Structure 1
Amino acid sequence: MASTHTSPRDVVFPPGRQALYEKNRYSPAIRSNGFLFVSGQVGSRPDGSPEPDYQAQVRLAFDNLNAILQAAGCTFGDVIDVTVFMVDPEKHFEAAWEVVGEYWGSAPHPTLTGIGVTWLYGFQFEIKVIAKLPEGAAR
């Protein structure tokens, strides 16, 4: 007989944005087995609306990502895997990557999968990551 017991998810919320995640019914990040799995982050303003300027939207996506990493005791240096989604990457890739370099840090870099999409709920850029929790922060 299969077990019906499930353990509660160890959710990480960044400061000040919990209502947005509850409204949209997903967790910003979950700690599991020494890793932090972060939901896709977009360049949303505090009210959830998209930042209209493209490069500012990419910066805000990284700022939102970094707030979650920090809430879990991580930095971008702990990130091991990145997935980036871009609307019209042929048009936007170079502009996005100028900003990415401001946050990425030096080599060795995390793994990366880039995906071109047609729709991101009104956004142009989204980033999701998996990070290794530092010793002592791992659960």
Structure 2
Amino acid sequence: MNQRDVVFPAGRQALYERNRYSPAVRANGFLFVSGQVGSREDGSPEPGLQAQVRLAFENLNAVLKAADASFGDVVDVTVFIVDPEANFETIWEVVPEYWGDAPYPNITCVGVTWLYGFQFEIKVVVKLPSEEAR
């Protein structure tokens, strides 16, 4: 079995070890990032939907930074939203703060009934910059 090339953001290793998953895995020029939520360092949800979305993006950006990447390298996004009919517009008021300019990555939005106490989760696939581009 190949060893996974795991990426850990600074200061969050204990949370990932406790929950038994990798925040991101590099493979064949891509970075596959686990779903990021608006969790504080202790794993608890940030109160307030917009604050939770902002923290989810900050947590995502910490993983991307640890891999020497940025949101501009993201090619595929999946978001999970609890009660999307009620929450989508509120969430999408925050997204442009992190999304950047066009061209945008592709996206799949999934409505869910439960996210372990969270209301929003974002998972991405990144095309890593080549060594020559760094």
Same-fold call, TM cutoff 0.5: yes
Match of 2:94 in 1: 99
Distance apart, 1:136 and its partner CA: 1.5
Match of 1:84 in 2: 79
Letter in 2 for 1:9: R
RMSD (Å) for aligned C-alpha atoms = 0.9
Counterparts of 1:1-139 in structure 2 under 5 Å? 6-136=1-131
Larger-Rg structure: 1
Q: Distance in 2 between matches of 1:96 and 1:90?
A: 11
Give the aligned length. Answer: 132
Q: SS of 1:45's equivalent?
A: coil
TM-score (norm 2): 0.97
Q: Distance in 2 between matches of 1:59 and 1:11?
A: 24
Consecutive unaligned residues in structure 1, runs of 5 or more: 1-5
Q: Distance in 2 between matches of 1:113 and 1:90?
A: 15
TM-superposition CA deviations, 1:93-115 (whole Å, max 9, x none)? 01100101100011110000000
Q: Distance in 2 between matches of 1:58 and 1:34?
A: 28
Q: SS of 2:21's equivalent?
A: coil
Consecutive unaligned residues in structure 2, runs of 5 or more: none
TM-superposition CA deviations, 1:24-69 (whole Å, max 9, x none)? 0000000000000000000001110000111000000000000000
Letter in 2 for 1:92: N
